[in-house]
Structure 1
Amino acid sequence: MEGFIKVMLVEDDEFWQKQLALDLNKEEDIQVVKIAATKLEALNSLDSIEIDVVLMDINLTENKLDGLEAAKEITRIKGLKPKVIMLTSLSEQEVIVKAFQNGAVNYITKSNFHDIVKAVRDAYADKSSIHCDAASAMRNELHLMQLSPSEREIYDLREKGFNKTQMSEILHKSVNTIKTQLRSIRDKLQ
């Protein structure tokens, strides 16, 4: 298998295991060398198989987001340099941001699985392309980085639907302080 981009597919759903392996193995320069259904199986495989790119589902065990933790562990193993691409049905901003914080180089939803081949080649070539499934969330997160930690806390509560009085009670701040910080947030994010 010399000359191939060696891919490990970490996916618990048999349909996706078969479909993705079939699609990737059709490519002349890509070979799925391992299919793992669990985080532990994936981590154990890294000791015995050379892997260039890992396609990682986020929910491997009962919606526990354990693929995020697996990505973090894989990217921190000394001496190994596999690139991790998250492949999932989840599109929540917090999950996307956490995936990149845990070392993923790209994030693609399964509805766009047809983009996987390009993403695998880009990751292997160290190209820093971020799929459109993740780009908006990452731009938004960068925009929010200008908020102080206190302002971010208030912003997050506001996004969850809390009013000023409720935020005041939760954060043990006066309503006037909350109002002032909301104004500051609005000014920074305009």
Structure 2
Amino acid sequence: MDKIKVMLVEDDPFWQRTLAEDLAGEPDLAVTHIASAKEEACSLLEQAAVDVVLMDINLTENRLDGLEAAREIKLRSGRDVKVIMLTSLQEKEIIVRSFQNGAHNYITKASYKDIVQAIRDAHAGRPALHPDAVPALVQEIQLSQLTPSERELYEMREKGYTRSQISSTLNKSINTIKTQLRSIREKLVNDKRD
């Protein structure tokens, strides 16, 4: 049986070692390459046959370059390489951007024990979203119903702006803000805020 070839893209030596050792214990997986930077990963992928990439998001000083690397891998790879984000970050925007950049799945390092099954699912082409990513994606789908103006207002409310502050910032009347908030509530049936 051919093993699933996995590349680790991780700058932390602890996680490189831990993941490589854990995956080496699986009979159907082989860690074929370990890269610690975006450029190194993209270069290796041009030369090597890899099935699944485990990608950390912050490879260099919190610059989110793992997101860029995922996008480049999906654009430059002639093969159907699956990218699984494996990171400690849990911000909704980063999760959504990961999928927009071509990620097949998103798992936090707190849930790293689930990575083996995620690799197998990705390699088999089975769509499987890890529970770490689901809330952010569900919310993003719900928010996609909003107009750009409503989205801006929604995000201001989430940041704690009052109606008066929103009215002043957006140069809209309080009545317009109330109407838009009502429209947002109708579109987002789960959001009870007014």
Which residue number in structure 2 is paired with residue 69 of structure 1? 68
Which residue number in structure 2 is paired with residue 137 of structure 1? 136
- The one-letter code of the counterpart of 2:38 is K
- Give the TM-score, by structure 1 length: 0.96
Which runs of 4 or more aligned residues in structure 1 lie more than 6 Å from their structure 2 counterparts after TM superposition?
none
Secondary structure at 1:46 match in 2: helix
- For 2:126 and 2:85, the matched residues in 1 are separated by 16
Q: Given the alignment of the two structures, is residue 33 of structure 1 paired with residue 32 of structure 2, yes or no?
A: yes
Which residue number in structure 2 is paired with residue 87 of structure 1? 86
Secondary structure at 2:48 match in 1: coil
Which residue number in structure 2 is paired with residue 184 of structure 1? 183
- Same amino acid, percent of matched pairs: 60
Q: Given the alignment of the two structures, is residue 153 of structure 1 paired with residue 176 of structure 2, yes or no?
A: no
Secondary structure at 2:18 match in 1: helix
- For 2:125 and 2:78, the matched residues in 1 are separated by 17
Secondary structure at 1:62 match in 2: coil
Unaligned runs of 5+ residues in structure 1 are none
- For 1:171 and 1:88, the matched residues in 2 are separated by 36
Shift of 1:4: 1.1
Aligned residues: 189
Cα-to-partner distance string for 1:131-181 (whole Å, 9 max, x where unaligned): 000011111111111111111111111111111222223323222211210
- For 1:154 and 1:51, the matched residues in 2 are separated by 44
- The one-letter code of the counterpart of 2:68 is E
Unaligned runs of 5+ residues in structure 2 are 190-194
- For 2:173 and 2:138, the matched residues in 1 are separated by 32
- For 1:155 and 1:38, the matched residues in 2 are separated by 36
- For 2:131 and 2:76, the matched residues in 1 are separated by 28
- For 1:123 and 1:63, the matched residues in 2 are separated by 27
Secondary structure at 1:76 match in 2: helix
- Give the TM-score, by structure 2 length: 0.94
Pick closer, same or farther for the CA change 1:7–1:78 going to 2, 3 Å: closer
Pick closer, same or farther for the CA change 1:134–1:33 going to 2, 3 Å: same
Shift of 1:93: 0.8
Q: Given the alignment of the two structures, is residue 45 of structure 1 paired with residue 44 of structure 2, yes or no?
A: yes
